[in-house]
Structure 1
Amino acid sequence: MSGSGDGTVGKALGVLDQVAGFGRPVRFSELLEQSDLPKATLYRLLQTLTNQGMVAYDPERGVYSPGMRLVRLAHAAWAQSSLAEVARPYLDRLSREAGETVHLAQLDGGHVLYVDKRNAADPVEMYSQSGKVGPAYCTGVGKAMLAHLPADDLTRVLKQQSFHRFTPATLPDEAALRAELAEIREHGYGFDREEHEPGIICVAVPILSGRGRCLGALSVTGTTTRTNLAELERLVPRIKAAAQAIAEEAQHWRFPDRPVEAEEER
């Protein structure tokens, strides 16, 4: 958590992550209990973050929470780096056509960031929410994105997977995951077979640029009580059409493909 390898900045960002990670205002004692930083260092970093507006402190309640400056930066990052804005109309249409929950996700390091979500007409409780981070190795959107990473990037990201067995269907190790990723690359879509949550299944498609760069993934999710993988698989052509439309619009707007030569000159 401390980010000691990146010096003071890394430590401060670690504290910021910790404050945000509680999902509620948090006391200093709670932060200290979970921190590997000395008490004086943690307090000093919290003071700096508070002075910079990245963290807010409520003296009456004695609690810390994310500051308004962080909120402004988050909104700017969301607008400039997220697929959510360009994808919105396509998610709306796919949600109406599928009648099930639709997810839009992007990779955040070795994890899945749920960027946007459309609930089914009859919504069900599930882990995924916009802005929430989940595992990549046992979710449909995660596997769809992993399958289309360059080899070196995939190797790096796989080292970050925990392979915790959430359910009996969770893939147990890297070898099993790599075998499934090969199938996903071949077919252009993948499944979540109750691998993260019991009773929750999905079919997922990568969002790929014209050069094959993975921008994100799109999925339709349902429950085993009202659908099955074969029914979800029938939606693949519609999901692929939505993914392609999102990719085309995103490339022209925010995620243009650069020639290799241009990347090398940077």
Structure 2
Amino acid sequence: MSIVDTSQKQRGRGVLEGAFQVLDALSRFPDGAGLSQLSRACELPKATTFRLLEQLVELGAVQRHGTEYSVGHLMARLGENWQPHPRLRRASRGPIRTLARLSTAAIAVTILDGDRVRVVGATRGTPGELPHVMADSASVSRTAAGQVLLASQPRRERPEAYTATEWRRLRSRLRQDDAVVVEYEDVLPGVCCVAAPAPLPDGQGVASVSALIIGSTVPSALPGLVLRAAGEISRGLAVH
């Protein structure tokens, strides 16, 4: 009996893994894809891919339009409730509202998810992935938030946008307890940004707390306010 049960569990796990392979492949084709494309993307036989797709269609996880497939309503509904870091979002809600009120700046809390930057909390806009933006790209790595997220990682290789001396100085600065990065129109003319790291618990890295302001100058009080908000978020994470 135990041998049969183990075999059934293995088959069930194999089907589940295959289904997620198909869903992951579909996520790369927002306009839909045909069976052959998905079979190649999943690296699964065409017959297996077809069987999994049709099962997922019945569940509402995939939708079929003629000979093409795309993500279905069930996955879209589940995706609406996805959060990159729920604890961080809860801990940052109060501090970023206070920071926005005191500074009149637009505030965002971001983290690295692999090589992508995700917004966990913000005073404007909807949290989510910044579309088609890689953290190491020159435009992102030069922002105050990008500097905080990248240079705070001890094993991160130097982005191409930095010289070895610049990268070494930035990393040294971010090791200080009162580390704040101020960017003066380095990426967008007429936009300045101040960012500070908020260490995540259990050595998970840091989040960036950043304040964007329109203008060519940064109010003298803003770096201190951003630093205080980052500290409040870190302390909030410790008790959540």
TM-score (norm 1): 0.61
Are residues 1:140 and 2:144 paired?
yes
Q: From 104, 109, 128, give the equivalent of 1:104.
A: 109
Select which of 117, 123, 127 maps to 1:130.
127
Residue 237 of structure 2 aligns to which amino acid in structure 1?
Answer: A
Task: Give 1:30 deviation, angstroms.
Answer: 10
Identity %: 17
Is the 1:86–1:246 contact (alpha carbons within 8 Å) kept by the matching residues of 2?
Answer: yes
Counterpart check, 1:242 vs 2:233: no
1:55-74 equivalences in 2 (<5 Å): 55-59=61-65, 62-65=68-71, 68=74, 71-72=77-78
Structure 1 residues 29 and 51: alpha-carbon distance in aligned structure 2, compared to 1, 3 A threshold: closer
* Equivalent residue runs for 1:194-233 within 5 Å: 194=185, 200-208=191-199, 214-222=205-213, 226-228=214-216, 230-231=217-218
Tell me which residue corresponds to 1:190. 181
Tell me, in whole angstroms, the C-alpha distance in 2 between the residues paired with 1:211 and 1:64.
38
- Name the CA shift for 1:176/1:114 in 2 (closer, same or farther; >3 Å): same
In structure 2, stretches of 5+ residues that fail to align are 1-13
1:200 offset after TM fit, Å?
Answer: 4.1
Q: How far 1:252 moved relative to its partner?
A: 0.7
Structure 2 distance, partners of 1:111, 1:79, is: 11
Would you say how many aligned residue pairs link Structure 1 and Structure 2?
A: 219
Whole-angstrom CA distance in 2 between matches of 1:242 and 1:39? 52
Separation in 2 of the partners of 1:218 and 1:113?
12
1:75-114 counterparts in 2 under 5 A?
A: 75=81, 78=83, 81-114=86-119
Q: Partners of 1:73 and 1:185 in 2: how far apart?
A: 36
Q: Is the 8 A contact 1:207 1:215 kept in 2?
A: yes
Q: Secondary structure at the match of 2:218?
A: helix
Instruction: Describe the shift of the 1:13–1:234 C-alpha distance in structure 2 as closer, same or farther (beyond 3 A).
Output: farther
**Post-superposition shift, 1:237?**
1.2
Which residue number in structure 1 is paired with residue 26 of structure 2?
Answer: 19
**Residue 125 of structure 1: aligned partner:** none
Deviation of 1:108 (Å): 0.9
SS at 2:128 equivalent: coil
**CA–CA distance in structure 2, aligned partners of residues 158 and 54 of structure 1:** 42
Matched residue type, 1:57: Q
- The structure that has the greater radius of gyration is 2
In structure 2, relative to structure 1, the CA distance for the partners of 1:112 and 1:62 (3 Å cut) is: same
Q: What are the residue-to-residue correspondences of 1:111-122 with 2, within 5 Å?
A: 111-119=116-124
Q: Aligned partners of 1:68 and 1:13: how far apart in 2?
A: 14
Residue 220 of structure 1: CA displacement? 0.5
8 Å contact 1:32–1:39 — kept in the other structure?
no
Q: Is the 8 Å Cα contact of residues 196 and 226 (structure 2) preserved in structure 1?
A: yes
- Over the aligned positions, Cα root-mean-square deviation in angstroms equals 4.3
Q: Deviations over 1:12-53 (max 9, x none)?
A: 65654453355x452337965994847828944862882695
TM-score normalized with structure 2 length: 0.67
**CA shift in 2, pair 1:174/1:195, >3 Å:** farther
One-letter amino acid of the counterpart of residue 208, structure 2: A
Letter in 1 for 2:223: V
Distance 1:250 1:188 in 2: 19
1:181 aligns with 2:171: yes
**Paired amino acid for 1:109:** G
Q: 1:78–1:211: structure 2 CA closer, same or farther, 3 Å change rule? A: closer
